[in-house]
Amino acid sequence: MESEVNVLDLGPFEHGSTTTAPGPAQSPASPLASITSELDKLTPRFDVSADDIEIIRSPTEFYETLKAKIATAQRRIFLSTLYVGKAEDELIDTIRSALKANAQLQVSILTDYLRGTREAPDPSCASLLASLVRDFGAERVDVRLYHTPNLTGVRKAVLPKRINEGWGLQHMKLYGVDDEIIMSGANLSNDYFTNRQDRYHVFKAARVTDFFYNVYRAVADMSYRVLPSDLEASGFVIEWPSKNVGPAPLEDPKGYIASATKLLAPFTKPSPRLSTMEKASDTHVYPLLQLTPLLKPDTSTELPALTGILRKLGTPELAGSRWTFTAGYFNMTPDVRQLLLESQPSSATVVAASPWANGFYGSKGVSGMLPAAYTLLSRRFLDAVARAGLSQQIVLKEWRKGTVNTPGGWTYHAKGIWITLPGQQYPSISLVGSSNYTKRSYSLDLEANTLVVTSNADLQRRLGEEEKWLQEYATPVTRDDYAKTERRVGLHVRVAMWIVTLVGGAL
């Protein structure tokens, strides 16, 4: 799990582009401007009003907000997720009611092929979504399943369903309705609607929504289509539409990747220059994409943006910045870990799920060892903090609210980073989206994120509130805590980690 990521280690904010984007709203000499000027060379940028960004706090609020937006949709609903829970009848009925109420409404849903068909021929995500196609026709409801080009032939034939997902998934979480989009790390199932803490940012900006819709549509047009079937025990069939872009990944993986690169690479290019007559706002949204399995050469923007910002924090200009980093699955890449340490923060916090708040807690087989594996990785991180002499500046916290799979027990799935620059009280930079900042995120899965950079005082305050209340159930842990008997990691866990790496997966 700690092997190096198979991506180019480029300099700050670079993936080969030389296009110059517009200057930022801040003074060219400001620390924030030094970051935005580099981001503008890397990725598209959208100037928005700070009031157009809403931060949702709880799983329940996320679910109710999503249903409310679906119920009043006028033109389009597009949902990209790893999976829809096979028993999410209420969500599907909400979509069904919206389709009945508005004959002009179009619905498109993209999930992962491997996760979406895992239970078939028993009830599954695919069979649930096929029911919408059955009721309203493929002209109004388009259901797609992305299949990684990394899992084909003999490997696909022999690997068990629970393991094969380790070779790549559709992991983008894009919940768009008309001109608004919710960016999150949450999937669409009961636990994510009730007792699994994540992050949720609503962008009420048409240009941001349109950008992610176009990304969504491009991936959907390179995915299999689900159609209902009364003849199949599963209730559905899967086809490769003739109008799709390029060959199917299971038939011609190389040709598929070539077609995908041509279609998706434009989304990773920076914006053209703004006219000198146009005035930049105080809040910028940078869409960041990690589409490594589909881009050759890889022009993904998330990892270069993240590492570029972290390198900036380590310069004298930004010395004394503060940050909070969180991930539901604590397995950041070695490069990200090193850059966090080299940022030399005045204070910093890492928030990770406690083993008792880990979604794999109590699972059978290899997955049941993952909470202990993440504990081992957390301990190694604290060891690295100590070696760097940063134990007074960097604290590691474990998030726990009860015990998963028991009454009142929650799991923790939030991920992102908040950065507060020197002399500021609240964060001016925040990254939110689907990425877990792991080897898997940067080499195998499809990820979508938004980087918000703002000098707006109210939005900075709201980001600071989010940073604070996400730690409400987080408790500092030390190296001594990991030395306790109940936290020791057995040899079998280390062997399991080694096996996963050896066979090529990144669970």
Using alpha carbons only, give the angle 343, 355, 440 rounded to the nearest 5 degrees.
Answer: 55
Q: Cis omega before residue 253 (within 30°)?
A: no
Is 15 considered catalytic here?
A: no
d(CA 328, CA 35): 27
281 close to 49: Cβ distance less than 8 angstroms: yes
Structure tokens at 57: 């706090």
d(CA 76, CA 95): 11
> How many CA atoms, within 13 angstroms, populate the side-chain half-sphere of residue 142?
23
Is 178 considered catalytic here?
A: yes
Q: Cis omega before residue 22 (within 30°)?
A: no
Residue matched to tokens 């790549």: 168
Catalytic residue chosen out of the listed positions 41, 135, 178, 481: 178
Number of Cβ within 10 Å of residue 8's Cβ equals 13
Catalytic residue chosen out of the listed positions 15, 86, 171, 415: 171
Is 89 considered catalytic here?
A: no
Please, which residues bridge with residue 451 across strands?
286, 431
Using alpha carbons only, give the angle 286, 288, 292 rounded to the nearest 5 degrees.
Answer: 160
Catalytic residue chosen out of the listed positions 67, 147, 173, 401: 173
Q: What is the three-state SS of 326-386? A: EECCCCCCHHHHHHHHHCCCCEEEEEEECHHHCCCCCCCHHHHHHHHHHHHHHHHHHHHHH
Rounded to whole angstroms, what are the CA distances from 320 to 31, 307, 389, 456, 487?
12, 18, 15, 21, 33
**Active-site positions?**
171, 173, 178
